[in-house]
Amino acid sequence: MPLRRLTDLPAGALARALFEAIPDGVLVLDADGVVVDASEAVCEMLGYPRDEIIGRAPPHPWWVDGMLPAAPRRFPAAGAREAPAVLVRRDGTTIPAVVRSVALGDGPDGGGNVVVLGRVPSAPGLPLGDESYRAVVAAVHEGVVVHGPDGRIVSCNPSAERILRVASDEIVGRDWAHWDAVREDGSAIPPHENPSTLAALTGRPQNDVVMGIRTPEGEVRWIAVNAEPVPADDGGVAAVVATFSDIAGRRQREELVSRLGRILEQSRDEVHVFDSRTLRLVQVNRAAVTNTGYPMADLHRMTPLDLLPELDPDAFAAIVEPLRTGDVERVQFETVHRRRDGTTYPVEVRMQLVGSESPPVIAAVVLDITARHAAEVELRGREAENRRLAHEQGALRRVATAVALEDDPQSVFDLVCEEAVRLIGASGGGLVRFEDNRTASAVGAWSVAGAPPAFGDGESLDGEGLAALVARTARAARIDTRSGEGAHHDVAVAAPVRAGERLWGAIGVTGIAHERAAPDAAERLGRFAELVGIAVSNAEARARLADLAATDHLTGLANHRTFQERLAQEVVRAARHGRRFSLVLLDLDHFKRVNDDLGHQMGDAVIREAARRLGALARAGDLMARVGGDEFAWLMPETGGMEAWRAADRAREAISAEPFTGVGQLTISAGVCDLDQAPQHSELFRLADGALYWAKQHGRDVAFLYSPEVVEVLSDAEHAERLTRLQALQSIRVLARAVDAKDPSTRQHSERVSEVAKVLATALGWSPDDASALRDAGLVHDVGKIAVPDAILFKPDRLTEEEFQRVRAHAALGAEIVADVLSNAQVAWVRGHHERWDGAGYPDGLAGEGIPVGARILTLADAWDVMTSARPYGVPLSREDAIAECRRCSGGQFWPAAVAALERVLVEGGLPDER
């Protein structure tokens, strides 16, 4: 059976006891020399853990080859043998020992060996006896050669063979000249100058002589030689014993140190090396001299404390002590360095103990971080400014959204005052309108608890208050006040509000602590004043429109407002007198495709023709109204549900009976409900809308009479949300058209951009729905310009940097205004429509594929309209010149794929005409 462990042999208990009781080390080897067991004593003796001894195959690292028989096996297969040896411990140290081996098994190959390793007591000098002498020489890791009187080598040890990379028979009989010895500078060493020859000639030792010898492979190996003459009885030299070691590693380290020294000398970072006990500087580099202004000699008389004004001896000792004790490998901290002229500069210090030096030293690398500190200060300043701008943009967005949604003017005015107070850090704010009788009428206010109002209601415009100052100068005003003798110093600021070109009133804030009053407070307040002016202008415009218009301008039918008023009246009248009443809601099927595919002009023509056909069906006393883009409502007094359904079906046939010019066949869907199902006008509209929705979902071209068993109607909350979103989007579109309408040259700019964007998206393979979504985003892409003053928008001269930043902000603000109405993708398109393919755009500096695809298309569509439309500051380009400019900017300003699509569309004639 194969040998396993000694303790597995018969009489295992006795074997185990003997195995552990023998004070000498015991190894068990199998027939191939693989160690299969080892006692604790041998592990301790050799310094190897047990798992690194067991399983080890020959050659074994713990004794020197040559001390025992070599190939074919280290130990005899039978019998016992004892020999002196030098054991090599794991750490490289050696132990004189006696090795005894006993074979196991009786076969021709044996069953392995039991090897006992016994220590030999150490004695001063070399062990006695030739065998012991040879054992020690063989165990030495350095090469050892003995030269005869003629300089030729007469013997060598195994380490000499290893270092010279040749066998002993190629070493013995030769001298150093055989290996073409050279000095460190590469010059050849003459035979009479090699260290062994010099030792023989002079009788004096030659110590640590570095020379290079060439191996048979042509490689130069560097060795350090010590040659010791052996005196003869006649006083001459009988022999020379030379020891040598491979110093290739040492030379590499020396070259590395030299290279590092040169690097450190040329480094801009300071290097200070100081004694870890006395702290005296022992070495510095050139950068330390340059940066501190001290001469090298002065620095060598100083300590780091002389250069570190922020640290006292105790603080510095607390930093250095963990390095001295080895608790940490390195420390790093920031402080300041003092120059010779007394000035200081911020530094980062990295210290590390160099324990290999005697006495130990600490190397400190000192980095001048002045630029980094300046960058950090600038970054903190930018972050603070960005936070301030973010707060301001948030406040402006909330106010602009309220204006766009056409909230109640009083709510808008109070919101403006609240946002201004919070943003500027005031205690109270107010909004006044200037009346014809030279008084200021309060129309909005907000203040923290206990703070007085910013303006008094009925305040005279002929006095010295804030309102009077603004009214007199038509400019922003500032007043500094003191609330009591010697103490509290407050600031009040106001800005004019204009409605168009007319000075309408003023907005002001009070109670700003003097130390917190920003220099640009009046300017920031002015941005709120501009939004108030827009709200006032919108409110006045709505009032005028309400007085002048009760009909839809496109169709001549009643408009949505008239419809709502008449619906409420008719429901009340019918309920009071017990009359029948029905409501029909009609919606053109797939009308969006008409606008998307043929443009809004054709869409308007379809709406007008549909209104003509439907209006022809209305009876005397009926009301036909246009209540949305392609939605119509038919109020039918004195009419029950079935009769109204038959009328709705006639309307359906009137629409589908004859093709629409330039479009073709169209259909319409209708929803019908009467007062039997809904006694309230709001409920009547909701149920009729539910019937219309059911008709749309079940094939279209259908008139459906509401039935609670069939129609599932939207909840009030769902219906309200749907209407709110539609109204909000319509309001934002109105606001965008108002921006375009400020300048005659930009009228319908957004409509043109949206149409071009939609055509390009289709050419790029977008689905109809996605292309329509891009068109909707294009309609409101410039809505953020509502916050840009007209004086900047229409300035004929080059804009200042500050004015340009105001214009740049419109893209981000526009995205915030539409965020609650459009999808996330559409919001990203609005925000990114001024980004450039090369990354030089704004507001986020996006580049290439990082720009949303819709934004890339809008960028080209916007630029195309600017190039091809008449502007007061330039002549429009022809389409040929414009497409040439687009090609030139492809890959820079524009997405190359979009430019390619534009060229295809132009060739195919699919681009809308400029208007």
Is 112 or 484 the better-scoring residue by pLDDT?
Answer: 112
- Render pLDDT for 196-224 as a digit per residue (tens, 0 to 9): 999 989 889 999 899 999 887 888 888 99
What pLDDT is stored for residue 843 in this prediction? 92
- Using DSSP bridges, classify how beta strands 703-705 and 668-674 pair: parallel, antiparallel or unpaired: parallel
What pLDDT is stored for residue 737 in this prediction? 59
Q: How far apart are CA 95 and CA 840, in angstroms?
A: 75
What does the pLDDT average to over 244-264? 67
| Three-state secondary structure string covering 596-658 | HHHCHHHHHHHHHHHHHHHHCCCCCCCEEEECCCCEEEEEEECCCHHHHHHHHHHHHHHHHCC
- Render pLDDT for 305-332 as a digit per residue (tens, 0 to 9): 999 999 999 999 999 999 888 888 899 9
- Whether the CB-CB separation of 503 and 471 falls below 8 Å is answered with yes
- Render pLDDT for 651-703 as a digit per residue (tens, 0 to 9): 999 999 999 999 999 999 999 999 988 878 788 998 999 899 888 878 789 99
What pLDDT is stored for residue 13 in this prediction? 55
Q: How far apart are CA 55 and CA 48, in angstroms?
A: 13
What pLDDT is stored for residue 135 in this prediction? 63
CA 46-52-55 angle, to 5 degrees, is 115
Q: How far apart are CA 587 and CA 709, in angstroms?
A: 23
Q: How far apart are CA 181 and CA 183, in angstroms?
A: 7
Q: If pLDDT is split at 50, 70 and 90, which confidence band does 712 have?
A: low
Q: If pLDDT is split at 50, 70 and 90, which confidence band does 71 have?
A: very low
- Render pLDDT for 272-310 as a digit per residue (tens, 0 to 9): 889 888 899 888 888 899 999 999 889 988 999 999 999
How distant is the alpha carbon of residue 332 from its chain centre?
Answer: 27
Place of tokens 């200070």: 272
The CA distances from residue 508 to 32, 495, 715, in Å, are 101, 6, 44
Beginning with the edge strand found earlier in the chain, give each strand of the sheet holding 477-482 in spatial order.
459-460, 439-447, 428-434, 502-513, 489-499, 477-482
In sequence order, what are the beta bridge partners of 460? 439
pLDDT at 794 over 50: yes
Q: pTM to 2 decimals?
A: 0.32
What pLDDT is stored for residue 73 in this prediction? 42
770 by DSSP, 3-state: which? helix
What pLDDT is stored for residue 607 in this prediction? 94
Is 515 or 377 the better-scoring residue by pLDDT?
Answer: 377
What does the pLDDT average to over 499-514? 87
106 by DSSP, 3-state: which? coil
Angle between helix axes 591-598 and 768-779 (nearest 10 degrees) is 70
What does the pLDDT average to over 60-78? 49
How distant is the alpha carbon of residue 461 from its chain centre?
Answer: 55
- Whether the CB-CB separation of 147 and 140 falls below 8 Å is answered with no
- Render pLDDT for 422-451 as a digit per residue (tens, 0 to 9): 888 888 899 989 988 889 988 888 888 878
- Using DSSP bridges, classify how beta strands 35-38 and 80-88 pair: parallel, antiparallel or unpaired: unpaired
What does the pLDDT average to over 396-404? 77
Which of 93-107, 261-275, 837-851: highest mean pLDDT?
A: 837-851
What does the pLDDT average to over 228-233? 84
Q: Which of 451-455, 585-589, 636-640 has the lowest mean pLDDT?
A: 451-455
What pLDDT is stored for residue 645 in this prediction? 94
Is 385 or 643 the better-scoring residue by pLDDT?
Answer: 643
What pLDDT is stored for residue 162 in this prediction? 87
| Three-state secondary structure string covering 380-398 | HHHHHHHHHHHHHHHHHHH
If residue 672 lies in a helix (H) or strand (E), which one and from where to where?
A: strand 668-674
Question: CB-based contacts of 468: which residues, under 8 Å, 6+ apart?
Answer: 440, 459, 460, 461, 462
Closest CA to 364 of 263, 310, 291, 284: 284
Q: If pLDDT is split at 50, 70 and 90, which confidence band does 74 have?
A: very low
Q: How far apart are CA 35 and CA 58, in angstroms?
A: 9
Q: How far apart are CA 538 and CA 709, in angstroms?
A: 45
Q: What is the share, in percent, of the chain residues with pLDDT greater than 70?
A: 82
Beta strands in 303-370, from DSSP E residues, in sequence order: 330-338, 344-354, 361-368
What pLDDT is stored for residue 129 in this prediction? 41
What pLDDT is stored for residue 654 in this prediction? 94
What does the pLDDT average to over 501-510? 89
If residue 802 lies in a helix (H) or strand (E), which one and from where to where?
A: helix 801-818
Q: How far apart are CA 125 and CA 254, in angstroms?
A: 34
Tokens matching residue 513: 């602590």
What pLDDT is stored for residue 5 in this prediction? 46
- Whether the CB-CB separation of 715 and 689 falls below 8 Å is answered with no
- Render pLDDT for 123-173 as a digit per residue (tens, 0 to 9): 333 333 445 556 666 667 788 888 888 888 988 888 888 888 888 888 888
Q: If pLDDT is split at 50, 70 and 90, which confidence band does 782 have?
A: confident
Provide the mean pLDDT of the chain: 82
Q: How far apart are CA 343 and CA 336, in angstroms?
A: 10
pLDDT at 413 over 90: no
pLDDT at 3 over 70: no
What pLDDT is stored for residue 589 in this prediction? 92
Q: How far apart are CA 16 and CA 31, in angstroms?
A: 22
What pLDDT is stored for residue 14 in this prediction? 55
pLDDT at 730 over 80: no
- Whether the CB-CB separation of 287 and 268 falls below 8 Å is answered with yes
Q: How far apart are CA 656 and CA 641, in angstroms?
A: 23
CA 179-180-185 angle, to 5 degrees, is 130
Q: How far apart are CA 718 and CA 723, in angstroms?
A: 9
What pLDDT is stored for residue 1 in this prediction? 40
